[in-house]
Amino acid sequence: MKHNISRLIWASGTGVGGFCIVVLSSLYAARRSSGTSELTPPTTVPALISPAPQSLPKTIARTPLTLKTQQGQIEGVAEGDAIAFKGIPYAAAPLGALRWRAPQPAQSWDGVRKATAYGRACTQPSVSVSLGSGRVGSQSEDCLYLNVWAPRNPTSTKQPVMVWIHGGAFVIGASHLPLWNGGPLAQKGAVVVNLNYRLGQLGFFTHPALEQESPGGAVNFGLLDQIAALQWVKENIAAFGGDPNNVTIFGESAGGQSVLALMASPLAQGLFQKGIAQSTYGSPELTRSNAVAMGSRIASAVGLNGANATLAELRTVPAKKFGQLKDTSLSNSPVPISGDPVLPQPILSTFEKGEQARVPLIIGNTSNEASIALDFGIRPAALVQQLGALRGAVRILYPGVNDDTALGLQLVRDAVFTAPARRIATLHASVAPTWRYYFSYVPVGLRSRWVNGVPHGGETSFVMNTVDRDPAIANTLTNADRIVARQVSNYWFEFARSGKPTSANTPPWPNHSPTSDKTLEFGNTFTVRSNFMKARLDTLTALSARIFAPR
C-alpha cells in the first residue's frame, strides 16, 4: 500500500527528477504571467453563528419498519429520527462462475427478511492505516450489499436520494464504517444509500484467459457493481420514500474517483442526476494491455501457471489469497482500468471531449491531502530534498513556505489533488453547473495535532454530519465543530434536494466557470475565493501530462 501511494504521487516513470526538470522550465514564466498573488483578497463574510434548526414542512407520512422491494419484504430498525435498512442484497453473490462477471440480479425471498445487520465487507488486504475510523471486520467474496436510511417522519412522498460510495484506493473499505452512517443526512430529509463493491483483484482484473472468454469485455467489475446498485436504487428507492429521478452520487478519494468514473461511463447514464466528488486525484487509469500483463503476474502469485492459467483454475482460487496480495505490481490501485465497456477511455479524456454526464457537480479537496503519504511512511521532506538546488525554484510557487516538510506536503497536495480537481471543474463547467470547494476547517480540539491542515478524508464526518461518531474528534468536540458540520452537510443536502448548494447563515456559493474561477473555502469562516492558488495550479496543470504519464 505504501508504494501505491508513492506511485500516485510520482506517477509512472517521471519520478522526482523528471518532475523537477519540467517544474524548473515553467516556474518563472508562470510567475511572471500571473498578475495577482496566490490568493486574491477574500470575499469577507461574517463568522459562523449557531443557527436554529431549519423548519421542516408539516409531516405527511411515516416511514414504516417493513417495506416491500422487488426482491421481497424487508424489516428495518429505528435509529433516532431515521429508519435503517441494512445488509440488503442488490446483486447475486459473485462466487464461482460469477467471479469476474457482471453482477447478476439478487434472488427473491419469501416472507420478511431482517435488514438489521450490515453485510460483510468485500475481500481485501489488512492494512495498518485505519479507514473511516474503523476496521472493516468480517470479509467475504459474498459482499454485494447496500444499506438505506430513510427519514422516520418524511416531509414529502419524494425525498432526495444520496448514494455514498466509500473510498480506499479501490482495494480497501466497506460501507458500514461509522463515519459513513447515513442517519444524520436522513434526519435532514434525504434517503441515503451506501454500498459495498468488489475490490482489488476481485473487482478490477483481466487475464489472457478472460480476454479469450470475453474479448473486449468488462474488467472494472467494482464499477459494474456500483452501477448495479444504482439500478437497484432506480427500481426500489420509491418504496423508501426516495425520488428515483433525484439521485446524487457522492464519495471521497476512490469514492470521489468513482463518481467521476460513473459520470464518464456510458453504462451509468441516466442513473443519477447530480454528483459530488471529494478528494479526487490526478493519477491516470491503468491501461487494458497493462492490466492483462498484470493478470498473468497475479495468476503466478496465487500459485497458477501465469498467462497459461485457465479461468476454471482462477475461479477456484480462494478469495482470501487475492486479499493477501500486497505487491504493487499486482494491483491497479489507486485507479480503475480504461479500455472496457465501463470506461472506454480515460476519465480525463471523456471530460476533455465533453462526453461525460452533464449533471451538476461539486468537486474539491482538503488542505492536507498529502497526509495519506505520511500514513504510508513517505517523507515529503525527503522528496523536496531530492530536488537539490531546484528547491529554491519550487519555493517560488509557495511564498513563505520554508520548511521542507510543509513544502513537500503542499506540493504533493496540489499536484495530485488540487490542480486535477480544478481542471475537472473547469472542463465540466463548460457543460453543466459546477461548484468548487477547499476544506480547511480543523476541529478546535485537534489544532495542536493537525498542524498541517485537514488530512485526507478529514472532511467526511462534517459532510455526513457524523462528527459525534468520529473517534478522532468526538472526545474534543466543541459547539463550533458541530455548527460547521451542520452547515457543511446542509450544503450537501440542499444540493441533493434542489441542485443548488446553500446553507443558512453562510455565504452564497458561486459557480466555478472557465472565466470565473471561484472556490468556497470551508475554514474558520466560510469564504469565497477568487483565482484560488491560481499561479501554482496553472503551472501544475500545464505539467500534468508529464507528472501523470499513462501506465
CA-based nearest residue to 417, from 464, 476, 458, 468: 458
CA-based nearest residue to 333, from 185, 424, 203: 203
Beta bridge partners of 150: 83
- ∠92-97-103 over CA atoms, to 5°? 35
For the chain, domain boundaries: 2-547
pLDDT of residue 382: 86
Beta bridge partners of 362: 276, 435
pLDDT of residue 246: 98
Cell numbers describing residue 44: 469577507
Choose the catalytic residue: 456, 459, 503, 521: 456
Please tell me whether residue 360 adopts helix, strand or coil conformation. coil
Check residue 271 and report its DSSP letter: S
Residue with cell 462526453: 355
Choose the catalytic residue: 285, 369, 459, 494: 369
Continuous H helices in 101-253:
183-188, 200-203, 208-213, 221-236
CA-based nearest residue to 277, from 266, 264, 268: 264
pLDDT of residue 155: 80
Residue 543 CB-density burial (10 A; 0-12 exposed, 13-18 middle, 19+ buried): buried
Per-residue pLDDT in tens (0 to 9) along the chain, 551 residues: 333 333 333 333 334 333 433 333 333 333 333 333 333 333 333 333 333 333 334 445 678 899 999 999 999 999 999 999 999 999 999 999 999 999 999 999 999 999 999 999 999 998 755 555 557 889 999 999 999 999 998 887 799 999 999 999 999 999 999 999 999 999 999 999 999 999 999 999 999 999 999 999 999 999 999 999 999 999 999 999 999 999 999 999 999 999 999 999 999 999 999 999 999 999 999 999 999 999 999 999 999 999 999 999 999 999 999 999 988 899 999 999 999 999 999 999 999 999 999 999 999 999 999 998 877 677 888 888 887 877 777 889 999 898 888 999 999 999 999 999 999 999 999 999 999 999 999 999 999 999 999 999 999 999 999 999 988 888 899 999 999 999 999 999 999 999 999 998 899 999 999 999 999 999 999 999 999 999 999 988 987 765 555 55
| 313 is an active site residue | no
| 456 is an active site residue | yes
**What topology is assigned to 2-547 in CATH?**
Rossmann fold (3.40.50)
Choose the catalytic residue: 133, 253, 265, 489: 253
In sequence order, the 6+-apart residues with CB closer than 8 A to the CB of 293 are none
Q: What is the DSSP string of 49-87?
A: --PPPPP-PPP-----SEEE-SS-EEE-EEETTEEEEEE
Rg (CA), the chain: 23
Q: How many residues does the chain have?
A: 551
CA-based nearest residue to 293, from 551, 16, 7, 98: 551
